Amino acid sequence: MKGILLVNLGSPRSTAVKDVREYLDEFLMDEKVIDYRWFFRALLVQGIILNTRPAKSAEAYKTVWTDEGSPLIVITQKIQKKLQKLVDVPVEIGMRYAQPSIEAGIQKLIDQGVTEIVLFPLYPQYAMSTTETVIEKAEEVRKKKFPGIKINYIQPFYNREIYIDCLAESIREKLPENFDALQFSYHGVPERHIYKTDPTNTCNLNDCCSRENNPSHQFCYRHQCFDVTNSVIKKLGLPKEKVMVTFQSRLGKDKWMEPYTDETLETIGKKGVKNLAIVCPAFVSDCLETLEEISVEGKHQFEHGGGENFHYIPCLNDEDRWIDVVKTLCEEKLNEFYLV
């Protein structure tokens, strides 16, 4: 019997500081997120970050928390329920960090008789801190706890036409009539992550992203972000001069991909961008990074820097057109089981 496991990032159990600290500990101690050797990672995370950041992050979570709970968890549950109505196999969810865990999601499927699982990491682009860590964790759980099951992984879908059409139409419907610029803000990663995930050793974080074909593109998060942007603006028929790409959510003093979203928001108002629309296509579900970092803090940064009208465009969330894309991608992988 087959089943589907939708996997997203995860969220603290609550906005209590202790729960946020527990979540950040698991998240930031992942070597795919902060890729230092264990001793130095522990020194940074458990010796410094967890002594200062949890209280601040807890206050940020309080600004986006709903009566139902964490927005990311709630939205993922809505996706699950809508998808379940469209497919005839069990659908469960798991989170890479905190609860419900990937192990718990697999167990729920097994309890329903499932032996073959399509696991869908809900990230459009490939990165070691997203897709790679999800697959690695799921394989670790499978080998230790469920060696008898098979897992078929859905790969990054950033360049699938059905996804680009879905994203473009969602943006088109929400784009203000009058805007000076459309900003695509992607979650950032340290530049060294790009080199680490390139098995071809051909990426130079420069012109290779713009080449039509380069062997590193399959694993290059930066290229995939620009590819999504270019495909969407082509669908929307927007002039390139009205579009910009930036990267948000950097942590620490390491060199992250540029340009930075916050610095851009603080300066573009003075450069004539008074009416800004912004979208975050690294996420399919609204979460702390979109609802607080961009929609609240980003708006403040833009207005403080001379901007006037700030319009955040929500993620795909549980839009029916997105659920149809999820269904199609899952069914493709389900059918592959029959071909083995």
Q: What angle do CA 100, 103, 108 make, to 5 degrees?
A: 75
CA dist., res. 314 & res. 267, Å (int): 23
Q: Which of 61, 84, 82, 67 is nearest to 10 (CA)?
A: 61
**Between 221-236 and 161-174, two packed helices, what is the crossing angle to 10 degrees?**
60
Look up residue 287 and give its two tokens. 């979460």
User: Long-range CB contacts (< 8 A, 24+ apart) of 247-254?
Assistant: 247/185, 247/186, 247/187, 247/188, 247/189, 248/185, 248/186, 248/187, 248/188, 248/280, 248/289, 248/293, 248/294, 249/187, 249/188, 249/289, 249/293, 250/188, 251/34, 252/44, 254/190, 254/191, 254/192
User: Would you give the DSSP letter of residue 241?
Assistant: G
Look up residue 57 and give its two tokens. 């992050």
Three-state DSSP at 245 gives strand
187: annotated binding-site residue?
yes
289: annotated binding-site residue?
yes
Annotated binding site for Fe(2+): 187, 289
- Which residues are annotated as part of the binding site? 187, 289
